[in-house]
């Protein structure tokens, strides 16, 4: 009996040491890592086995798009596990804040869900010195429209109806426009509570582009990063909007699919006018993004997305997050790390992580150009 008790105590101690060790390893990862928020690989670092750490050193600060936060969490954790002594600090704020930080010279790169405007490119020349800011498409994915309606676990909407909901023109869940799209569904006589982003957001701008392209009679607003329509309720970041939708019965909001997946929020199927409504998924978003054309010039790889596609299985409400960098004139103390880190995120291994986190990899034809451009940064 004493021997058995001794063995049990020894096993307990070893288990405690194992847990302690796991916590230490976790603490060595990104300060911005949210673990379970990714819905992805968690502690896996296998994808980082082919990282080229040459020239990487010290700390690299970056900020911007919250749309790519869950992807960045995975990338940063794996990259830092592979490149000892290098720290990547990505501040998930918003696309607008990221561009401001980039043009103020306080970050090595910025994440933005919209390509740089001409005036932002002009401002970037003050920081890039010998060059200018360029857009590198790195993360693709669907903008999911999530809803919380007790007793309803499936919902189909089209662009005109979405436009009227977010413009607060449709106010009840049993409105005729919604019931026609959902025959047989028991939709309650309950107020709709739409949520939108409180800060400048590329996700907001991409939703605006989609609604303007597909429901021009019902969405009269310019596609800007600031929410344009009256009414509704605001929340900070994609995580904030998702949290509100998760908590509030009768609510609806927009955010990247990874937030819907991690918080188990039901998403709207979109009636595009095609053969069948399309679900928000990485695969279906990839079908839409694959049709994108590069509209940027020189090393700029800004894309032109087709929001009006009716291709079978193509989910049209998509966004692409760009990493904004200087083509030339990068700071010498961060250039090596920028090239090394973005080289990993654009690699086959880095892009493969996106699907498991609810995103869509950038099509290979475009991503090949991204890798070539990253390698040429100076």
How sure is the predictor about 39, in pLDDT bands with cuts at 50, 70 and 90? very low
Q: What's the whole-number mean pLDDT along residues 281-294? A: 92
Share of residues in the chain with pLDDT > 90 (%): 80
Confidence (pLDDT) at 177: 98
The two tokens of residue 54 are 């040459």
Max mean pLDDT among 45-49, 50-54, 242-246 falls in 242-246
* Average per-residue pLDDT for the chain: 88
Sign of the four-CA dihedral 150, 153, 154, 160? positive
The two tokens of residue 173 are 């869940």
* pLDDT over 70 (residue 277): yes
Q: What's the whole-number mean pLDDT along residues 149-169? A: 98
Question: At residue 50, what are phi and psi to the nearest 5 degrees?
Answer: -105, 20
Q: Is the distance from CB of 167 to CB of 229 less than 8 angstroms?
A: yes
Q: What's the whole-number mean pLDDT along residues 28-39? A: 34
SS3 251: strand
Q: Please state which of the ranges 25-34, 245-254, 291-300, 306-315 shows the lowest mean pLDDT.
A: 25-34
Alpha helices in the chain (DSSP H): 2-27, 69-82, 95-103, 118-128, 159-166, 176-181, 202-214, 237-247, 257-262, 282-289, 332-345, 348-356, 364-376
DSSP string covering 168-223? TS--BTT-HHHHHHSTT----S-B-EEEEESS--HHHHHHHHHHHHH-TTT--S--
What is the C-alpha separation between 195 and 185, in angstroms, rounded?
23
Q: What's the whole-number mean pLDDT along residues 323-329? A: 98
Confidence (pLDDT) at 10: 40
Q: Tell me the angle at which helices 332-345 and 364-376 cross, rounded to the nearest 10 degrees.
A: 160
Q: How many CB atoms lie within 10 A of CB 121?
A: 18
* pLDDT over 60 (residue 73): yes
Place of tokens 């690989």: 41
* pLDDT over 90 (residue 20): no
Residues 214-233: pLDDT tens digits? 999 999 999 999 999 999 99
Residue 159 backbone zone (phi > 0: left; psi -120 to 50: alpha; other: beta): alpha
The two tokens of residue 11 are 């096993």
The two tokens of residue 294 are 């590069």
* pLDDT over 70 (residue 310): yes
The contacts of residue 280 (CB under 8 Å, 6+ apart) are 142, 143, 144, 145, 257, 260, 267, 268, 269, 270, 315, 317
What is the C-alpha separation between 33 and 298, in angstroms, rounded?
34
β partners of residue 60: 88
Q: What's the whole-number mean pLDDT along residues 257-284? A: 95
Share of residues in the chain with pLDDT > 70 (%): 87
Q: What's the whole-number mean pLDDT along residues 296-302? A: 96
Residue count of the chain, please give it.
378
How sure is the predictor about 48, in pLDDT bands with cuts at 50, 70 and 90? low
> CA nearest 286: which of 249, 313, 247?
313
The two tokens of residue 66 are 């919250």
β partners of residue 281: none
What is the C-alpha separation between 316 and 252, in angstroms, rounded?
18
Of the two residues 59 and 32, the one the predictor is more confident about is 59
Confidence (pLDDT) at 107: 98
Of the two residues 34 and 174, the one the predictor is more confident about is 174
How sure is the predictor about 261, in pLDDT bands with cuts at 50, 70 and 90? very high
The separation between CA 210 and the C-alpha centre of its own chain, rounded to angstroms, equals 16
How many alpha carbons fall within 13 Å on the CB side of residue 302? Answer: 18
Residues 75-100: pLDDT tens digits? 999 999 999 999 999 999 899 999 99
β partners of residue 321: 139
Confidence (pLDDT) at 11: 40
How sure is the predictor about 38, in pLDDT bands with cuts at 50, 70 and 90? very low
- Burial classification of residue 151, based on how many CB atoms lie within 10 Å of its CB (0-12 exposed, 13-18 middle, 19 or more buried): exposed
How sure is the predictor about 49, in pLDDT bands with cuts at 50, 70 and 90? low
What is the C-alpha separation between 316 and 288, in angstroms, rounded?
6
* pLDDT over 70 (residue 167): yes
Cα–Cα distances (Å) from 71 to 39, 40, 88, 109, 201, in that order, read 10, 9, 13, 16, 17
What is the C-alpha separation between 32 and 70, in angstroms, rounded?
9
Confidence (pLDDT) at 258: 87
């Amino acid at each position: 009996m004493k021997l058995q008790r001794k063995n049990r105590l020894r096993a307990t101690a070893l288990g405690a040491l194992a847990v302690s060790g796991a916590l230490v390893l976790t603490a060595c990862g990104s300060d911005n890592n949210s673990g379970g928020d990714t819905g992805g690989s968690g502690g896996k670092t296998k994808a980082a086995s082919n990282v080229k750490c040459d020239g990487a050193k010290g700390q690299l600060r970056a900020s911007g798009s919250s749309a790519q936060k869950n992807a960045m969490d995975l990338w940063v954790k794996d990259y830092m596990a592979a490149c000892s002594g290098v720290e990547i600090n990505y501040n998930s704020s918003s696309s607008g804040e990221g561009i401001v930080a980039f043009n103020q010279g306080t970050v090595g790169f910025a994440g933005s869900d919209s390509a740089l405007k001409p005036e932002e490119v002009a401002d970037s020349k003050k920081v890039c010195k010998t060059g200018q800011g360029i857009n590198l498409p790195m993360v693709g994915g669907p903008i999911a429209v999530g809803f919380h309606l007790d007793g309803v676990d499936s919902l189909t909407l089209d662009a005109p109806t979405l436009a009227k909901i977010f413009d607060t023109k449709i106010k009840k869940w049993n409105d005729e426009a919604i019931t026609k799209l959902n025959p047989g569904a028991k939709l309650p006589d309950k107020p709709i509570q739409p949520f939108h982003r409180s800060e400048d957001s590329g996700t907001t701008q991409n939703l605006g582009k989609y609604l303007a392209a597909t429901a021009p009679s019902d969405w009269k607003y310019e596609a800007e990063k600031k929410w344009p329509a009256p009414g509704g309720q605001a929340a900070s970041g994609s995580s904030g909007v998702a949290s509100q939708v998760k908590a509030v019965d009768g609510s609806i909001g927009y955010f990247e699919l990874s937030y819907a997946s991690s918080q188990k929020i039901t998403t709207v199927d979109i009636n595009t006018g095609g053969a069948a409504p399309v679900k928000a998924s990485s695969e279906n978003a990839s079908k839409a993004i694959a049709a994108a054309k590069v509209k940027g010039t020189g090393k700029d790889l800004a894309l032109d997305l087709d929001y009006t596609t009716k291709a079978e299985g193509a989910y049209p409400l998509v966004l692409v997050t760009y990493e904004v960098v200087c083509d030339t004139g990068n700071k010498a103390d961060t250039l090596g790390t920028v090239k090394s880190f973005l080289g990993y995120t654009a690699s086959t291994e880095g892009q493969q992580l996106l699907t498991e986190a609810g995103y869509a990899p950038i099509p290979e034809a475009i991503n090949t150009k991204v890798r070539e451009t990253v390698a040429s940064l100076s």
